[in-house]
Structure 1
Amino acid sequence: MKVPRDISGALLESLKALGLTKYEALVYIGLLRVAGATATEVHETSGVPRASVYPVLDRLIEKELVSVSHTTPKRFDAIPPDRGIENLMHRIEADAESAKLALDTIYREKGPEVRGNQELIWTIYGEENIRTRLADMFKHAEQSVAMLATWELLQGSVLEVLTSVPESVDVEIVTDCWKGEQPPRFRIRLPLSESFHEVRSAQGKPLPYERSGVFLVDNTRTLVWLGSKSEQPSALYSESAGLVQFVRRHLASVTEHMSAAGQ
C-alpha cells in the first residue's frame, strides 16, 4: 500500500508514537479531510485496503478519535485534532500509571539476590535521575531520614522532593544555613558560623562541593550527591552495609563536633 504523497513520514511517526498503527493514522488523517465519509470513501481517501477499513474504524472509535452516525450506510467523522490528541494523551497517561503501579509492585516484591560478600554501589548521573532516586527513597521511608547537605543543594533540588516523606517519619537536616521559615516537622540543625568553621577544620570538608549532600534513609539506604555550579552532578547509591555504616558514622561525627563546638 502506498502512503499518499502529501502525508509526511514524520507525521505518521508522531501518530505512531501516540499509540496509533500506520493504518489508524492514515484513516484518521483521511477523515480530517472529509465530512461524514462512508467506509468506501475512507478507503479511497486514506489508501487503506478495503478489508481493513472497518476494523481500523472500530479501533479509532474506541480510542475516541472517530465518531459514527446511526444511519445506513454508516458515516464516520474525525474528532477535531485538539480533542483527539488530548484523548490519546489521556489513554497514554492512564496506561503509564497502570504500568508504573504494576512494575513497582514487582520491584518491591523482589527478594534480595545472593552475591556472596559483594556490596553493590550504583553511580547515578544527572540531576533529574538523582532527584528521582532520592524521591523514591523519601517516599518509601518508614522510620527516619537524615541528611547533611549544603543549603544551595537543599533549596535548589531537595526540598521539593522532601515533601514526599511520610508524616510519621522522623526527618533531621544538618546544613550550613537556612533561609526563610523552617518547616516545623523537620529537625533542622544550623551551626553558628564559628562552630561550623571548627567542624570543617576538625573534619576536613564535610561537604566538598557547593551542591553536595549525604542522605540516609532508615539506616538501610544511602545516597551521596556530589556536584558544583560548573559540573553535572553525580551520586552514589547503595543499600550495602559498608557504605551505609560509613555514611551513618560520618553524620554522627559531624553532629558530635557541632555539639562540642557549642550547639
Structure 2
Amino acid sequence: MLQKFGFTQYESQVFEVLTASDEPLDATTIVKYSRVPKSKVYEVLNRLIEKGLLKSSYTNRKKLYTALPLDTTIRKLTAEFEENVEELKNKKYTLTPNDDRVWTIKNATAISSVTSDLLQQAQSSIYLSGWSDDLSPLLPTLEHKQQEGVTVEVLSVGEMETKLTAPHVLVPDENHEALERHQLIIIDEREILLAGVEQEEWQGIHTLSSPLVKFFTEFFFHDVALTEITRKYEDILKEDEQLQSILMKLRY
C-alpha cells in the first residue's frame, strides 16, 4: 500500500506486517510474515524508522519494532504531501546558463572595460596573472574584493607594491624566450578573459566554456607553481644548465 506514496515494495511489506500486528515484532518474525529477505530487512527497518513510521526498543536483549498508529501515519503523510505541494507551487525554475561560445575582443580599452566589469562581478574567487604595470591599476579593486572575502590570487610578472595577501611575483630573466605580455583573469572558476599583444595591439577572448575555464585554471596554477619553485630553488636551478634552459622556454 505504501508504494502509492513513493515507498519501496519491501518498505510497504514490512509496514503492513507491523501495522497488522497487535504486538511488537522482532526482525526474524518480520522476515517470516513480510517475505522480505533477511539480508535486507534491517536496512528496510532502519529506513522506515528514519522516515518516522516505526518505533524500536530493546527487550530481553532482543530488538523489537512496532508501527505508529495508522491514524498518526496518515496525518504525517498528509502533512508531508501538503508541504511538498506548497514547495512545488512556490519554487522558481530557471535554466542554468550554458554558454560555450568564445568571444573575441580587440582594443586595449575594450579589454580594460571588460576586465573591470568581471572583477566587480566576482563573488568567490579571482585568479589573475599579468605584467605588474598592467596589474597596478587593478590593485585597488582587487584589494577591496579581498577585504569583502573574495579569494584573490595574483601572479605578477615584475615586482609590485600591494596589500594583497602573498602575491606570486616572477622577476623576468633576460634569457626567457617565451615570456610575452599577457593577462589572464579567471572569475569564480566559471569565466575567463585571456588577452595578449599581437602585432602591437591587445587582443583577447572571453568565455564561460567549462572545458576552457578548467584548462586555464590549471594553467594558472601551473604558472604559480613554476614561479614559486623557481623563486625558492633559484640558486640550485641556475647550476643545472639543462634544467635552466628548459625553464627559460616556458611562458609562465
Larger radius of gyration: 2
TM-score for both structures, normalised by structure 2: 0.47
TM-score for both structures, normalised by structure 1: 0.45
